Amino acid sequence: MTVAIARVSPPAPSADELDALVARAVAGDQLAFAALYRMHAGGVHALLTRLVGPRAEREDLLQDVFVRFHRALPRFRGDAALATFLHRIVVRVALDHLRARRRRPEAGAPLDEEVADTSASPEQRLAQRAEIERALGFLDGLGPEQRIAFVLREVLELSYPEIAQLMGTFATTARMRVTAATRALARLDTKGTAR
């Protein structure tokens, strides 16, 4: 006897279906844009989490990404995958946010509640949150471009050409930013400030 397994998520659209969906969204079809949003919102949220950290402002940044995506969609020509086009916007939004945050540092922006394992004991969750805060403190010590390049390379394991494409730069520049970030992180003391 064969047991049928229900799909949790719909299958990804074909290239032709995606092109038609983009064309409809560009023409003003709000349902088509909503479908694009549903397809990509989870991935955008995850990428924002990696780039700016698990902070509450991600929800505002997610909205900013999709507002910019909506405005930029008419310029999408299909030279790259739609996800790559969208991820470029995510990187720009994250860079803008990190630059603004650097100009006016926040007084300890709180982490989202979801960052610690909810099945862990309260003591373990506290220790996990402290470790995450420490790691974010190290990343906050980097310049925005270095941080983004470092996370794209070391966390997402992208190649230098892929990083360059997302950041709108050259592969050698991406490599230099990752190298500089690695050196800066090696010099950070336990307080998260440069020596």
Give me the half-sphere count of Cα atoms (radius 13 Å) on the Cβ side of residue 47: 27
Its sign, for the CA torsion 21, 25, 30, 34, is positive
Is residue 24, in this structure, part of any structural domain at all?
yes
Is residue 2, in this structure, part of any structural domain at all?
no
Please tell me whether residues 104 and 152 are part of one structural domain. no
Is residue 165, in this structure, part of any structural domain at all?
yes
What φ, ψ does residue 111 adopt, rounded to 5°? -80, 155
Domain count, the chain: 2
Please tell me whether residues 174 and 125 are part of one structural domain. yes
Is residue 37, in this structure, part of any structural domain at all?
yes
pLDDT tens sequence for the chain (195 residues) = 333 434 344 567 888 888 899 999 999 999 999 999 999 999 999 999 999 988 778 899 999 999 999 999 999 988 888 999 999 999 999 999 999 988 776 545 555 555 555 676 778 777 777 787 877 888 888 999 999 999 999 989 999 999 999 999 999 999 999 999 999 888 875 444 444
Print the domain residue range for 37.
Answer: 15-110
Contact 48, 61 (CB under 8 A): yes
Output the pLDDT for position 57. Answer: 86
Please tell me whether residues 31 and 105 are part of one structural domain. yes
Output the pLDDT for position 109. Answer: 52
Please tell me whether residues 23 and 88 are part of one structural domain. yes
Instruction: Provide CB contacts within 8 A for 83, sequence distance 6+.
Output: 40, 43
Please tell me whether residues 44 and 104 are part of one structural domain. yes
The CATH number assigned to the domain holding 21 equals 1.10.1740.10
* Residue ending a domain, choose from 75, 92, 110: 110
